[in-house]
Structure 1
């Protein structure tokens, strides 16, 4: 599978009774498809996967795959404390027809590289699905070096891609240089999109299309077509917004933005809190400036 471009993340909408709202999940998926994303990722941190019950997690995964219906590849995020639970969820993702698993090593105890390697290998051995190695120490508590992630790509059969989300552009330069450009990697840090794509990232994993449509795709295409002036213009138009949604919390920010746009997707699940009224107004102002508010 040649996975490139914009991977759009879904949020998990909730009803007033705090149940998963599957009808509005379909609306979110339609929004991403309309934004011309190249793949859809469910159950990431923006999707509040850590706050879902097991039944909810499985229902969101299966409903996403079913509703997307092969229009684009579906990536299922997995971040579990135990290898057994990660394997269980990877098997479930394969069973329902997902195309890729995005696997993060989640830890309470500090994991060493042997433990992380075996965690990934165990998931790889359990299912034929290709794996994206996801490095996001801010949420998972594990920081993997470029050298180690490349070792896993080389030594684990189904490990295919790397998603780098530390916010350190030097990590991406290292991945590109050490692999001689042979290992595809994705940017997972929204406000670094311009630098990352210019550093050789084959794509950008982002929830931004939920609110600003195909503007991330336009940026990706501009860089792909070597239109650097256009790319800079597009990036700096989006920059303040991209920085804001990260700093404000992706789930809370996107849910507030979609609500302002007339799509009721509920609040984040506690302990996460909705945006304050002041931040809601700031977000609305940015969406107006980006032409994404009617």
Structure 2
């Protein structure tokens, strides 16, 4: 499975009281992303509040996403678990329901050494034939994997085949590109670094932004691919304030608030997460209006 382009992150809509997943609204979110010309859907990441879902809710979102996408684009299922046993269980489920890729990040309470992380990935690889995206997101998961270590896993673990880098350090991407001889696909996970990352050779950009601003991220990706740097810069700086805002405000809360502002009620984020404050809602409304999406 070769992924490239814009990997769209759906949020997980909840009922008005926040107590259950609203699957019809999830279909709306998925259709919005596909209409925005994303090249793949990555469910159950941080934007999807995966850490706050029950086992049944997680399975319902995963299976319903695959079912509703219906092969229109590849489906990536995010897995970030404290135990290898649970990660293996979810990887097997992703394979069972027909997902195309798993995005695996080690999640830590204790500080894991490289041998433990390697064993975690090896165990998941042994449990399913699905391609594995090695996801480095220390801000969320508490583990920072070096480019050298991630490439070692790509070289030696059968199904580990691509990297998502979310530290915000562009030098990591340069190192992945250089050390792999440009042979290992890597993806940008930091919205505010999209232009730099794509110019550094990233195969794509993982983002929830198309939920609210349609194909503007895809336009940026296409401009870089065509070598039109003037157009790429123009598109990037049009989006920059919005991209920075949704990360700082919290992806789930910001995207859900944006949907509400656009007339699509998708429920609140799940506590302890809180909806955006009134001032932040006004800021987001102004940004969406400036971008022509409200």
- Which consecutive residues of structure 2, in runs of 5 or more, have no partner in the other structure? none
Does the residue aligned with 1:107 lie in a helix, a strand or coil?
coil
CA contact (8 A) 2:77 2:101 kept: yes
1:118-267 equivalences under 5 Å are 118-267=119-268
In structure 2, C-alpha distance between the alignment counterparts of 1:141 and 1:46, rounded to whole Å = 17
In structure 1, the partner of 2:13 is 13
What whole-Å deviation, never above 9, does each CA across 1:74-103 have from its counterpart, x for those lacking one? 000000000000000000000000000000
In structure 1, the partner of 2:66 is 65
In structure 2, C-alpha distance between the alignment counterparts of 1:189 and 1:41, rounded to whole Å = 15
In structure 2, C-alpha distance between the alignment counterparts of 1:234 and 1:17, rounded to whole Å = 38
In structure 2, the partner of 1:43 is 44
In structure 2, C-alpha distance between the alignment counterparts of 1:115 and 1:68, rounded to whole Å = 35
1:92-107 equivalences under 5 Å are 92-107=93-108
Deviation at 1:218, TM superposition (A): 0.1
In structure 2, C-alpha distance between the alignment counterparts of 1:67 and 1:234, rounded to whole Å = 31
CA contact (8 A) 2:185 2:202 kept: yes
Does the residue aligned with 1:205 lie in a helix, a strand or coil?
strand
In structure 1, C-alpha distance between the alignment counterparts of 2:243 and 2:46, rounded to whole Å = 16
In structure 1, C-alpha distance between the alignment counterparts of 2:148 and 2:44, rounded to whole Å = 27
In structure 2, C-alpha distance between the alignment counterparts of 1:61 and 1:93, rounded to whole Å = 7
- C-alpha RMSD over aligned residues: 0.4
CA contact (8 A) 2:134 2:164 kept: yes
Deviation at 1:16, TM superposition (A): 1.4
Deviation at 1:17, TM superposition (A): 2.9
In structure 2, C-alpha distance between the alignment counterparts of 1:43 and 1:16, rounded to whole Å = 20
In structure 2, C-alpha distance between the alignment counterparts of 1:248 and 1:86, rounded to whole Å = 29
Does the residue aligned with 1:268 lie in a helix, a strand or coil?
coil
In structure 2, the partner of 1:274 is 275
In structure 1, C-alpha distance between the alignment counterparts of 2:94 and 2:185, rounded to whole Å = 22
TM-score normalised by structure 2 residue count: 0.99
What whole-Å deviation, never above 9, does each CA across 1:43-85 have from its counterpart, x for those lacking one? 0000000000000000000000000000000000000000000
In structure 2, C-alpha distance between the alignment counterparts of 1:184 and 1:33, rounded to whole Å = 22
CA contact (8 A) 2:9 2:48 kept: yes
Deviation at 1:284, TM superposition (A): 0.4
Structure 1 residue ranges (4+ consecutive) displaced by more than 6 angstroms after TM superposition: none
Deviation at 1:2, TM superposition (A): 1.6
Does the residue aligned with 2:105 lie in a helix, a strand or coil?
strand
What whole-Å deviation, never above 9, does each CA across 1:212-247 have from its counterpart, x for those lacking one? 000000000000000110000000000000000000
In structure 2, C-alpha distance between the alignment counterparts of 1:138 and 1:119, rounded to whole Å = 19
In structure 1, C-alpha distance between the alignment counterparts of 2:46 and 2:223, rounded to whole Å = 28
In structure 2, C-alpha distance between the alignment counterparts of 1:131 and 1:216, rounded to whole Å = 24
In structure 2, the partner of 1:292 is 293
Report the number of matched residues: 293
In structure 2, C-alpha distance between the alignment counterparts of 1:229 and 1:187, rounded to whole Å = 21
Does the residue aligned with 1:172 lie in a helix, a strand or coil?
helix
In structure 2, C-alpha distance between the alignment counterparts of 1:178 and 1:40, rounded to whole Å = 28
